[in-house]
Amino acid sequence: MTDDELVSMKEQVYKDPRPEAYFEQYYERSQTKQPNWVYELVRVLTAIYGYVFFRMRCISSDKVPLSGPVILAPNHFSFMDHFFAGTFTRRKVRFMAKSQLFSGPLRHVYTHGGVFPVRRGFRDEKAFATANIILRNGGVVCMYCEGGRSRTGQLAEQAKPGIGRLALESGATIVPVAIHGSSKVRNWKRLQFPKVTVQYGEPFRYEQTDEPTRNQQQVVADEIFTEIKVLYAGLDQHGRAGVARRVRAERRGSGAATA
């Protein structure tokens, strides 16, 4: 196996047979309660894991607003992307996760850590309602433009419309996030540990729109995904050090211009 090859992923289960009522408890908790100490514990443990094994670093985490509703919009290659995206901001990030994860003892870790389910294979209105309530209360929600994980190691061709819907319905600030290197995180099984870089882009927002059309949702989703692709391409071309130098130079130039 070469460094460019990926360890295979399990086949995805696209439809959760459990009824909507089963997940009501998780939606209700996410809508009414904040993540507790479980969030901080998991954050510390996964941060140590990320720093030690994946040499995880970030660029421009200060782009994430310190208050107000925010949607973090990363690309998605690995189950670790939740932790990579949320490690570098002190704000508690709430995540949508596929409903199949809410089984066994780990379901308690997810729900107390602020994660809420989205039912695979269904139009899950409760998941969107939960995300909107969190944002309305000034929280941070992480939602992937591509929906599920990419299985090819490459960014998807097109975004899913869901993030466009959430951006328009909420009017929240969007922060595009490029997670570079996580496509090979599962190669740890072959004792290969990629270097992971998380870069946060310039925040922006759309005017709140009630009941946006499917076309409006797709247009906004594609625009958000374009921002992610630009960040990702920069990391691909220039590497972590090159992008970091460029960001520092831009900040020095901006500081000199405003002095």
- Label residue 79 by pLDDT band (50, 70, 90): confident
Architecture of the domain delimited by 20-258: 3-Layer(aba) Sandwich (3.40)
**Residue appearing with tokens 């691909």:** 236
Domain boundaries, the chain: 20-258
Q: How many Cβ atoms from other residues are within 10 Å of residue 10's Cβ?
A: 5
**Cβ neighbour number for residue 205 with a 10 Å cutoff:** 17
CA-closest candidate to residue 91, choices 32, 139, 42: 139
Tell me how far apart the alpha carbons of residues 171 and 69 are, in angstroms, rounded to a whole number.
Answer: 8
pLDDT at 1: 43
pLDDT digits (tens, 9 = 90+) for 172-191: 999 999 999 887 777 656 66
Average pLDDT over residues 249-255: 83
Q: Please provide the average confidence, as pLDDT, over all residues in the chain.
A: 88
**26-47 pLDDT, tens digit each:** 999 999 999 999 999 999 999 9
